[in-house]
Each structure stands twice: as C-alpha cells, then as structure tokens.
Structure 1
Amino acid sequence: MGMTFAYDPAGRDDDVSVSVIHRALDLGMTLIDTADVYGPHTNERLVGRALADRRDRAVLATKVGLEVAPEKQKLVRNGRPEHVRAAVDASLRRLGTDHIDLYQLHRVDPDVPIEETWGAMAEAVTAGKVGALGLSEVSVPEIERVTAVHPVTSVQSELSLWTRDALSEVVPFCEANGIAFLPFSPLGRGFLTGGIQSAADLQEGDMRRNNPRFQQEAIEANQALTDRVREIGERRGATSAQVALAWVRAQGRYVVPIPGTKTPRYLEDNAAAAEVTLTPEDLADLDALPAPRGERY
C-alpha cells in the first residue's frame, strides 16, 4: 500500500518499488498483497508491472469493497454484487494477469447482505478469474455466514504488539478451521520499528498524521512499548522490527504477517525476521506489554 498510497508521499519511487518486489520474490516472499483502492488503482498497476515477467512466482492477492469517494475524499464501502463483478475484471486488467490467486473482501458493506457480496465473488472463482476468496476485518459470525456460500481461505485483519483484538476470537477460529490469518500492519504502521519519535517525523499527506496513536502525546506515551521491544531485540541480536514480526508469527500456525515496505534495507530486515526465534521468556515479556495510548483509527 505504502508504495503508492497513504504513507510517506515524498518517499515514493516506482522503479525502487518494483525492485523491492523483485527482491522480495528472490528472498522467498511469495505473497504479494494489494487492493484496488490503493491509489486508487495505481498500486495494482505497479504490482502488475513488477510481476509482468515473473507472475508464476507470486501468490497474487488483491481486494474489493472499498472506494474513494471523490466528493468526500474518504473511503466508502461498496459490496454490491454488480460492483464486485465489474471490479474483478478491472483488477485483472490493471494487474496484467488472467487470474487473481486470492480475492479479498476489503470491508463488509453494512447496506448489502454479506452473502450477496460473497456470492458475486464466488462467481469469479467459478469463472476461473479467481483462485480463492478471503475476508478482511470481519467477525467470527460473518466468517460463518459466508462459509455457507463458499469456503473462506483467509482472513486479513490488523495484528501487532499494539493491536491484539483479533487474538480473542478470530485468530483462534482461523486456527481451529485451517483458515490463513493475514495480519496487516504487523509493525504498528511503522511505529514498532522505533523510528518514529515525534509527530514531526511524519510528512504532510501521510495518513498517520490523523491517526490517534500518532498524535504527539500518544507517541510519547507509546515509546514505552518500543523501548521494551528494542531491549528484547538487543538480547536476541535482532532489530525491533524483527522482534515485532517474530511475535506475530508466533501467534499461530496459519498466521502469515504481511509487512509493507518500499525500502530495500527494510525489506531485508523484515525477511530476516523469519530466522528469529523468541524464547518463552521473550514471548511472555512481549505479551505483558501495556496497551497503547490512542484508538486504532
């Protein structure tokens, strides 16, 4: 997402982003996750460009169900079946591919029965346009409702050392039912790396400037979390980002974090987290971290 949307607008470079995706594949990272609303649309085109000559090496995931309302400049939900049918074809064109491996409902539209949205997505599977279906930011009852229409392959929600809501019900349900759980923002939107010390570290146009947890008072209070993560990293010979990712990976067999970066150095750092094993003592210390200051949105 950050390659074209939401974060650090001055730091974007399409050529560098393409090289990062190529390097990710070389490092064995096969799941490439995007969405039609990122940009909007520009992120899918960028991913399509990056995968043009190596599509068979990637598990390509995108999403439907959110749109940018031009008159409001905010995201709105759209789960109407006719929108889904048009959106999947548009995503295929932008991605330059004849199939999407994982098609995800970005958000549930409260004005449309979820079964109707899911049914339209299932049509894309039947048509051979999509391989599997996933959901994002849903409850267990919503997962159960759509399962009656078509199997759920994955659930994507926020999960990190400072956002643990999904651990109470959704992650255990996924674990029990063999459903992949894809944590987005596993590095706390970059905060858990320890690289954000004040609100001034965020550029104009960066959406985090409007996030409650990135207001100055919250940033100062939340440094206690990053300080502890850094301490555990020092005793394990790992960076803060690697500790944060290793903790997420330890939350279940089917937990597959999807950290985002557009920087080669941070990509290499994230990849190395796969080699970090936290001890029971480390995990207990991390589990005991206090809740962050500020709401999630």
Structure 2
Amino acid sequence: MQKRRVGSSDLYVSEISLGTMSIGTDEQHGIRLLHEAQDLGINYFDTADLYDQGRNEEIVGKAFKGRRDKVILASKVGNRLDPGKESWHWDASKEYIVSQIKESLRRLQTDYLDLYQLHGGTMEDNVDETIDAFETLKKEGLIRYYGISSIRPNVIREYVKRSNIVSVMMQYSLLDRRPEEHVLALLEENNISVFARGSVAKGMLSHKASEKVKRKGAEGYLSHSYEDLLAVSEKLGVLAEQEQTSATSLAVRYVLQHPALASAVMGASSLEQVNENATLSGDHLSEAVYEKLKQITRPIQYENHR
C-alpha cells in the first residue's frame, strides 16, 4: 500500500484508508474488519465520537490495543449529545472540545490521538477559541495534530488563515467536483492535505454503478439528474473496460490524482469490501485517462458557504 504525507506533519498514511462508521456495532465483526484492513496495508483509521454514540470508538480501541504503534488513529469532535435524547447539537467551544478528548481517549484505549478533527464548523463559531482548544490539546500531548472535517469553503478559508491544521476532510468525487473550483488549490498552496470521503458517491461510481444509481439516485445527486447519473455510470463502465480495470478503481484514482490528496477514506461493512478497497491503491492515472474522466462529468460549484 502506497503512503502519503499529511501536510507538514510526520504522519504518513495509506492512500486508501478506512472510515470506520460502517463497521457496525457487533464487536467481533468490527474487530475482524479492522484487523483485515491493517493486515492488507491500511494504516489510517478514521472514527468520531458521534458514531454509534461512542460505541464505534470503543470497537476501534479494542481492535488496536496492542497494535497502537502500527496505526494512525483519527477521531472527531463537535457534535454534542443532548442528555436523555438521541439528538445532537453543535458545540465548538473550548470547554467542550477539551472535555471530550478525554472521553475519546478512554474509549479508544490510548493516551493520544494522531489526528483530532473538528467535525464540521460554522462561521458563527468562535474560531479563535476553537483553535485554542486544539492547540492546548497539542501542547498537552493528547493529540499530535489537528484538522477539520468540512465542505464549507468559507470555514475552510478561516482555518487555513488562522490555524495550524494539517488536513481537511471533505466530500470529493467525479460527481462532486466542487472542491476543484478553489479549495483544492488553496490547500495545496498551504501544504494542507485532503482526506476525501464519498469517492464513489454512494456506490454510484463503482463497478455496481447502474444498480446503485437505480437505488440511490432516483431523485438525482447534487445538481445531477437521474438521467445524468445513468449516463455517467455507463460512460465510466465503458472507460473501465477499455482500460482493463474497474469503475471503482478509476473513480478513486481520479480523486487521488490531485496533489493535495493524502487518502481516500473508504467505508466497509464486510470483509469483501475491505479487500476490494485495499486493491484500489495504485499508480497515477495517465493524463489521457484523467482527461477522459473529466469529460464524463461536469464541474459543479458550491452554492452556499462561499
């Protein structure tokens, strides 16, 4: 598995990584998936306190107890559980962030996180206070680095200007090329890496594209109509056949082509999916294939949070 450096940090992550949200709540099954991923060369695992109300972090912690020095663990904070309810509200205050790292570390059975991410962010937040929270945790040795998970260009710009983030997690795929407008270039210029989620757009850019489009794209996807999605899946399939590879591989490698990218964060709920994901690491696309992929879809822009 090829590895890439995260920004200016000393973290080197597998270019295909595992987003743990979909591993489920069955402990034995979840641990099996996590171990299989690591055995196949994946070293970056992304969780959040939000996932299954902390249960996800607990499973990840049990899986890597005794293997901690072999993996890079990332979690997220900012979504605060309402007492006695299953609902959440946003809280980016220093007090809350500082208090929650201790809970995440307890569940993950570790004394530090490699990467701690703000799980969202708005322009109404006290950004300086939020940054101070992460800087405090860094000074205390509870986290090595911090970043944000956001698709809001205005929020991303503020953290680029005012903080020491090493990464931004965002949605990016052939069907969601919004980051290409300005965001990817901005992050590359500032040596901040991208963790891409949604690289296969709910499976609509995978080798099962036509089936997934019918199931998940009936109402369209972003500004793409159902008809658009069907056309994209067909063209992607044809190109994959010509290149003697899979549609999934082309879609993921398209995302990884940009120099700002550190890793494509892929979900998995079965051993089969873990194994499929691990095969997606590979060489850069040729410029000819990259340009053909660009022609399959059209660029779209962020309408909000500019």
Structure-1-length-normalised TM-score: 0.83
**Which of 279, 284, 293 is 1:286 aligned to?**
293
What is aligned with 1:9? none
**Which of 224, 227, 232 is 2:234 aligned to?**
227
Q: Deviations over 1:24-72 (max 9, x none)?
A: 2122211111111111211111111111121111110000112355788
Question: CA 1:201–1:138 in structure 2 vs 1: closer, same or farther (change >3 Å)?
Answer: closer
Question: CA 1:220–1:142 in structure 2 vs 1: closer, same or farther (change >3 Å)?
Answer: closer
Question: CA 1:290–1:200 in structure 2 vs 1: closer, same or farther (change >3 Å)?
Answer: closer
Alignment of 1:79-158 (within 5 A): 79-137=92-150, 142-143=155-156, 145-146=158-159, 150-158=163-171
What is aligned with 1:183? 196
Residue 269 (str. 1) matches residue 269 (str. 2):
no
Residue 258 (str. 1) matches residue 265 (str. 2):
yes
Question: CA 1:49–1:262 in structure 2 vs 1: closer, same or farther (change >3 Å)?
Answer: same
Larger displacement relative to structure 2 (241-250 or 14-23): 14-23
Point out which structure has higher relative CO (alpha carbons under 8 A, 6+ apart).
Answer: 2
The one-letter amino acid of 2:275's match is E
Following TM superposition, by how much is the alpha carbon of 1:275 offset from its aligned partner in structure 2, in angstroms?
Answer: 2.2
Greater strand percent: which structure?
2
CA distance in 2, matches of 1:106, 1:212: 26
Stretches of structure 2 that go unaligned for 5 or more consecutive residues are 1-20
* 1:115/1:145 contact within 8 Å kept: no
CA distance in 1, matches of 2:270, 2:233: 21
* 1:245/1:270 contact within 8 Å kept: no
Q: Tell me the matched-pair count.
A: 281
Q: Name the % identity.
A: 25
What is aligned with 1:54? 67
* 2:58/2:108 contact within 8 Å kept: yes
What is aligned with 2:18? none
The one-letter amino acid of 1:280's match is E
Following TM superposition, by how much is the alpha carbon of 1:182 offset from its aligned partner in structure 2, in angstroms?
Answer: 0.6
Following TM superposition, by how much is the alpha carbon of 1:20 offset from its aligned partner in structure 2, in angstroms?
Answer: 1.9
Structural RMSD (CA): 3.1
CA distance in 1, matches of 2:202, 2:50: 18
* 2:196/2:261 contact within 8 Å kept: no
2:253 is paired with a residue of what secondary structure?
Answer: helix
